Structure 1
Amino acid sequence: MVRLIPCMMLSLLALQVQAADVKTAVPDKPKPAPTSVSAKEYSADLLSLYREARLEDPRVLAAYARAQGGKERAREAFGSLLPQLSANAGANRIKQVNALTDQIYNSQSYSLTLSQALYNKAAWENWQRYKSLAKQTQSETEEAQAEATVDLATRYFAALAADDELELTIAERSTTQKSLDQVSALYERQFAKKTDVLDLQARVDLLAAQEVESRNQVRLSRAALSEIVGRPVTEKLSRIRNDVQLKVSDDSLETWVRQAVESNPSLLASVSGVEAAGAALRGGKGGHYPTLSMNLSAQNTNEGYNNALAPRTDSYVAGIQLSVPIYSGGSTSARVRGLYQDQVAAEQQMEATRRQVVKETTNAYLTAESSVEKLRANRNAVSSAEQSSIASQEAFKYGVVNAVDVLTATQNEFKARRDLLKTQYDFITNLFILNRWSGKVSDDSVERVNVWLSNNSKTDTVPVSDRKTKQ
């Protein structure tokens, strides 16, 4: 015991030095792709699933269809400002009877009419309204794509977390089972307590139950991922590389908030909604304005007054038509008042969206920034817990600690590993959320995150018995 105490003190000192010196590096460029990949080794990464989801996610496809429909409706409203040309042709069989004549004859008529609005405020503002609505649907499409990207990333890392939980549970169960076998052998020689055996056995049974639940969570997380991609996702998923440093951009919080207010698609959609409401209000007021139009027509017919047969005649007419609204029962004024309230509601909705964007951007930035410090602490915790577990195993052989202490050290180690992996996934998810609210979610942002992933599809869960040979 006297000789063992200095050794343990030196081990703890070395542990502190090792835990404090955690080195990470930012990758300069992705690893080169392998020349061939077998089906067993293939793993899907975030970028490949993102490209599939862009073509299969119903939310994205529906938003794109709405954007295209908005463009066509704007073009339809613009068409009312352009010349309106129509052609007509008709043939009649006429019987005419009076005191002087009783005859039956055929008549034909052909006409071509051109009408051009010279001044129509309601039609002009209606076009402005639909242009703003088209911009709104386009911004909503970008927001839908950003939301779908965040949802995909969330489900992707949730699936990774489920895989991690299963592998860690299996590894912890294997480690605990070895401790149970060791304590059981000592108990048979009356060198261990019965309570130690029972505690370890209870933990093994609990981990067996947790393993069943973890397997079910793996299937559920894959089903959630398949819902977005549109096909069963059964391949392995690429994991976060161990040689990268996860960090937020060097830009300040104020820069991110300013970028969000300027570029957030949801806020831009609200701004377009306010513009559309303003155009609708001006168009409603246009109901009090006169309209002016020019009409040109050409006609060829052999039918005269009162359907009388007449010599075939060509007629050409050019005219200006002025229409002045005088009174419509108060409906135009009521419509204007209603449109004014719609504009107020749109402005308040825009302000609510702006506040939400500022809040969500701030929350995502602060959460991601704190996750960086938490990652550093979790790496130190994993290193410390691993060394503590190894030291407990060694100390147990000499009777310094009991089996319960070994069990506690093992639980602490695997808990630290779970916390580290969860913090990594939460950090990347929050980074996507930050980019979403600031209007920066794009193919490039997914590619930058995808560089952090590798083809390694296994969680780093080295059992204690194997780790001791590496010390």
Structure 2
Amino acid sequence: MSRYSLVTAVLLLSSTQAFAMGPFAVYEQALRNDPAFLGAIKERDAGLENRILGRAGLLPRLSYNYNRGRNNSEATLPDSQGGSVTDTRNYNSHSSTFTLQQSLFDYEAYANYRKGIAQALFADEAFRGKSQELLVRVLTYYTQALFAQEQIDIAQGKKKAYEQQFQQSEHLFRQGEGTRTDILEAESRYELASAEEIAARDEQDASLRELGALIGAPSVDIGELRPLGEGFSALPLEPSNYEHWHELALTNNPELASQRQSLEVARQEVERNRAGHLPKVTAYVTSRQQESDSTNTFNQRYDTNTIGIEVSMPLYAGGGISASTRQASRNREQAEYELEGKTREILIQLRRQFNACLSGVNKLRAYQKALKSAEALVVSTQHSILGGERVNLDVLNAEQQLYNTRRDLAQARYDYLMAWTRLHHYAGVLNEADLAKVDDAFDRR
């Protein structure tokens, strides 16, 4: 090899290593480029403002009003002879008022304050849920792309083996030692493997494009992804008892937490509507300056400072307050049922993923043993053909079993990774440290 070719090969290898991305690297790019996640950030920021909006109704309110105008009026006044005289008045007028108000008792404002807190907490929990969902989406598309590649490799291996069987069967048939059935069997399985390869390529293309959408690229090349390590067996499940995960989910699951805040919002909405029957008490301070503010105060100036308390009491509103309170109560009851339903749904999924983690370890061991047995079966069957004990169809069946076992083992490995990740997700504790553990399971090239 020339020196130039050697340098080129080294550069290409370095480039491949530099751009090989594990799930964690994809996640870091998705944090900056995924439109759904970036939109979730803005949604959370908007939701957090509800805390300030709710609090505003309890704080003092200061307002200023200024009015200035030009007045043209005629005043008809009685004279001393019993008649009248007209006085034309053209003058400027103005008024200036500062008003400071502080609510002393306003149950509606207090309910709005509590509602604003719940809405802000809802936004925060909803964002936490979407952050964890991004982790799950990254790993889902990543493993789907890699599993599709393994299916492609398996399909190509099948095609190569079946093509050899086809050629061998055809050669034996020409010599009068084989059968037409052996040729058709090899040809049929070759075409089925071709169809499997096409389907796997379509699935891989979709997964790579989904990954590209997460990181702001049209697509991702499969060569940029790090494959799962050959020695991968399982990740530690700590703790290994379901009751602990059950408690974690009830306490930390972001969907349940956001549903609880949604229920609190509905409760405070009931209280806000009930406040329509209650009085409001407000303290106020006013400083007012008036000059020729009306015809009665022509050429007069008043400086008035006022401090007082205002009480307002609703008496009748056509039944609207009672109706709105009943409506809010029904919405609260709906939120209670939705929380109960979501809790059951989350716990079912949690148990499913927990069982998948426990059984996944045994499945991996079983498939690994089955793979060794299938490989030995192929070799043994090939030797048996030479001894006249088996026929070509037996070899095809043994090879089919080998490739199916390889596919099932690959599927079991990726299923275990996803079950481990989703278990932490449903428990509400999935974070970047967990993704880093998953990332370590992939080969570093």
TM-score, normalised to structure 2's length?
A: 0.89
Secondary structure of the residue aligned to 2:289 is: strand
Question: Structure 1: how far apart are the matches of 2:184 and 2:103?
Answer: 92
In the alignment, structure 1 residue 39 sits paired with structure 2 residue 15 = yes
* Higher relative contact order (CA closer than 8 Å, sequence separation 6+): 1
Letter matched to residue 15 of structure 2? A
* 1:77-92 pair list within 5 angstroms: 77-92=54-69
Q: 1:291 to 1:443 in 2, by over 3 A?
A: same
Q: Please point out which of 243, 253, 256 is paired with 2:231.
A: 243
289, 294, 302: which one aligns with 1:313: 302
- 2:392 and 2:220 map into 1 onto residues whose CA distance is 42
1:217, 1:295 → 2: CA distance? 69
Partner of 1:62: 39
- The correspondence of residues 173-322 of structure 1 with structure 2, limited to 5 A, is 173-231=159-217, 232-236=219-223, 237-247=225-235, 248-306=237-295, 308-322=297-311
Conservation of the 8 A alpha-carbon contact between 1:177 and 1:204: yes
Q: CA deviation at 1:62?
A: 2.6
SS of equivalent residue, structure 2 residue 329 = helix
Match of 1:112 in 2: 98
- Tell me if structure 1 keeps the 8 A contact 2:54–2:116: yes
CA distance in 1, matches of 2:31, 2:303: 60
In structure 1, list runs of 5 or more residues that go unmatched.
1-33, 457-471
8 Å CA contact 2:256, 2:342 repeated in 1 = yes
2:26 corresponds to 1:49:
yes
Question: Per-residue deviation at 1:377?
Answer: 0.4
Structure-2 separation of matches of 1:155 and 1:224:
7
Alpha carbons 1:180, 1:201 under 8 Å: kept:
yes
Moved more, 223-232 or 163-172: 223-232
Counterpart Cα distance in 2 of 1:437 and 1:75:
31
Aligned to 1:390: 379
Letter in 1 for 2:136: V
Structure 2 residue 74 is matched with structure 1 residue 97:
yes
Alignment of 1:361-380 (within 5 A): 361-380=350-369
Question: Secondary structure of the equivalent of 2:369?
Answer: helix
Identity of aligned residues (%): 25
Equivalent residues of 1:304, 1:310 under 8 A apart: no
The 8 Å contact of residues 227 and 442 in structure 2, kept in 1 or not, is answered as: yes
Shift of 1:115: 0.9
| 2:159 maps to amino acid | R
In structure 1, the residue matched to 2:49 is: 72
Separation in structure 1 between the aligned mates of residue 12 and residue 286 of structure 2, nearest angstrom: 73
Residue 112 of structure 2: aligned partner = 126
2:143 equivalent to 1:157: yes
Rounded Cα–Cα distance in structure 2 between residues aligned with 1:177 and 1:351: 58
1:294 partner amino acid: A
**Cα distance in 2, alignment partners of residues 117 and 408 from structure 1:** 84
Question: Cα deviation per residue 1:122-148 (whole Å; 9 max; x = unaligned)?
Answer: 101111012111111211122222223
Decide which of 417, 420, 423 is 2:409's aligned counterpart.
420
Specify the code of the residue in structure 2 equivalent to 1:239: P
In the aligned structure 1, how far is the partner of 2:183 from the partner of 2:12?
50
Gaps of 5+ in 2: 1-9, 78-86
* Equivalent residue, structure 1, for 2:422: 433
Separation (CA, whole Å) in 2 of partners of 1:275 and 1:322: 30
SS state of the match for residue 389, structure 2?
coil
8 A Cα contact 1:146 1:436, kept in partner: yes
SS at match of 1:334: helix
What's the offset of the Cα at 1:35? Answer: 12
CA contact (8 A) 1:44 1:235 kept: no
Moved more, 118-127 or 70-79: 70-79
Counterpart AA for 1:218? Q
Match runs of 1:9-28 below 5 Å: none
Distance 2:70 2:91 in 1: 6
Deviation at 1:97, TM superposition (A): 0.6
8 Å contact kept, 1:94–1:307: no
Backbone CA RMSD of aligned residues:
2.2
Q: Look up the SS of the partner of 1:89 in the other structure.
A: strand
The answer as to 2:389 corresponding to 1:400 is yes
Deviation (angstroms), 1:359: 1.1
How many angstroms does 1:188 deviate by? 3.6
My pick for the range that moved more, 212-221 or 279-288, is 212-221
Equivalents in 2 of 1:369, 1:306: separation in Å? 90
Question: How many aligned positions are there?
Answer: 423
C-alpha distance in 2 between matches for 1:320 and 1:195: 103
SS in 2 for 1:327: coil
CA-to-partner distance for each residue in 1:383-406, whole Å, 9 max, x for gaps?
110111122223323333211111
Q: Is the 8 A contact 2:233 2:413 kept in 1?
A: no
Measured after TM superposition, the shift of residue 190 of structure 1 is 3.4
- In 2, Cα distance between the equivalents of 1:293 and 1:322? 7
Superposition deviation, residue 191 in structure 1: 3.6
Letter aligned with residue 61 of structure 2: Q
Residue type at the aligned position of 2:314: P
CA contact 2:95–2:293 (8 Å) conserved in 1: no
Match of residue 334 from structure 2: 345
What is the CA-CA distance between 1:37 and the residue it aligns to? Answer: 6.1
Task: Give the secondary-structure state (helix, strand or coil) at the position aligned to 1:243.
Answer: coil
Distance 2:56 2:259 in 1: 26
Matched residues in 1 for 2:49 and 2:194: separation? 60
State how far apart, in whole Å, the 2-side matches of 1:46 and 1:413 are. Answer: 29
Summarize deviations over 1:403-456 as a string: whole Å, max 9, x none.
111111111101000000001111111122211110012111111111111146
- Shift of the 271–35 alpha-carbon distance from structure 1 to 2, 3 Å rule, reads farther
- Tell whether the 8 Å contact from 1:53 to 1:228 is kept in structure 2 after alignment: yes
